[in-house]
Amino acid sequence: MSPVPDVPAGVVDDAALLRQVSDGNRQALELLYRRHAGWLLIRLGRRCADPGVVDEVIQDTFVAVWRSASKYSGQGEVAAWIWGIGVRRLVDAVRRVPATQLVADPIEQNLELSAEERVLLGVQYGDLAGALDRLSPELRAVVQSTVLDGLTTAEAGRLLGIPQGTVKTRMKRAREQLREELA
């Protein structure tokens, strides 16, 4: 099968492609796939160690993109919309087939930050970054799932394999700890 050429993002933007997909254009779907399947696969792979499950989730995600393309509101990045579909499929998949989840390891505290990393962290999160890294792995995992990945507490519980109540408790503790640190 011939590879779809790498089209610079400016040529046809994602929102236009998604409109074409909702119009039944299969080629537009393939183009979207070539643009997004890669990073999605990697990001999901960091939350689930089983590559078979991840592959299946990617497949389900893009079939869902095909079927529900018209539901994209036009607000926000298409990448974020696709992520929303993908991560929820992962939650469903993990529930069906209990897979090893990745839980973040404790971060080495005195890592030398490169200039880029300083810029990166400064731009995105400021002081929050260090404080986040000082959270225990369990607390950081719930913060990542709910705040960064956009899951509900119920979904986060399913993904991490812990009861919803535990998610809420850990979120509360994480918030307290962060508030203390940043105060």
Partner 1 sequence: MTWHIPEPMALAYVSGEVQGARAASIEAHVMTCATCRSLVGREVPTDRLDAIWADVEELVDAPRPSWAERLLTRVGVPESDARLVASAPSLHLSWLTAVAGVLAFAAWASQNGDRGLVLFLIVAPIVPVVAVAGAYGRWIDPTYEVSVSSSYPTMRLLLLRAGAVVVASGVLAALASLLVPDARVAAAWVLPCLALVTVTLALSRWLPLLWSAAFVATCYVMPLLGGLHQDADVLAFVISRAAQLTALVVAAAAVTFMFTDPQLRAALRRSQ
Partner 2 sequence: MIAATVHDVHRRYGRTQALDGATFDIGSGVTGLLGPNGAGKTTLLRILATVAAPDSGEVTVFGRHPANATERTEIRRRLGYLPQDPGFQRGFSVFEFVDYVAILKELSNRRERHDEVRRVIEAVDLTSVSGKRVRALSGGMKRRTALAASLLGDPQFLVLDEPTAGLDPEQRLRFRELVSHAGEGRAVLLSTHQTEDVAALCQDVVVLDKGRALFHGSPAELSALGKGRVWFADERDPHAELAWRTGDGRVRHLGTPPSGAATVEPTLEDGYLLLVGRFDEEAAA
CB of 83 to partner 1, least distance (A): 7
Residue of 16, 79, 97, 182 interacting with partner 1 (CB under 8 A): 79
Residues 22-51 that bind partner 1 (CB under 8 A): 26, 29-30, 33-39, 41-43, 46
8: exposed, middle or buried (C-beta count within 10 Å: 0-12, 13-18, 19+)? Answer: exposed
Tokens of 158: 């399913």
Rule CB under 8 A: say whether 70 interacts with partner 2.
no
Residue 25: contacted member of partner 2, partner 1, none (CB under 5 to 8 Å, by partner type): partner 2
Rule CB under 8 A: say whether 15 interacts with partner 1.
no
Residue 28: contacted member of partner 2, partner 1, none (CB under 5 to 8 Å, by partner type): partner 2
Residues 21 and 28: beta-carbon distance below 8 Å: yes
Helices (H), 108-163: 115-124, 128-133, 137-143, 153-160
Cα 67 to Cα 73: distance, rounded to the nearest angstrom: 14
Residue 92: contacted member of partner 2, partner 1, none (CB under 5 to 8 Å, by partner type): none
Please report, for residues 12, 21, 32, 41, 117, the alpha-carbon distance to residue 9 in angstroms, rounded to integers and kept in the order given.
7, 17, 11, 19, 25
DSSP 109-123: TTPPPPHHHHHHHHH
Rule CB under 8 A: say whether 25 interacts with partner 2.
yes
Residue of 4, 27, 126, 176 interacting with partner 2 (CB under 8 A): 27
Stretch that binds partner 1, among 87-95, 114-122, 158-166, 168-176 (CB under 8 A): 114-122
Q: Please say which residue, 16 or 154, places its beta carbon nearer to partner 2.
A: 16
Q: Please say which residue, 4 or 165, places its beta carbon nearer to partner 1.
A: 4
Please report, for residues 21, 39, 68, 125, 177, the alpha-carbon distance to residue 26 in angstroms, rounded to integers and kept in the order given.
7, 21, 14, 39, 49
Give me the residues that bind partner 2 (CB under 8 A), please: 24-28
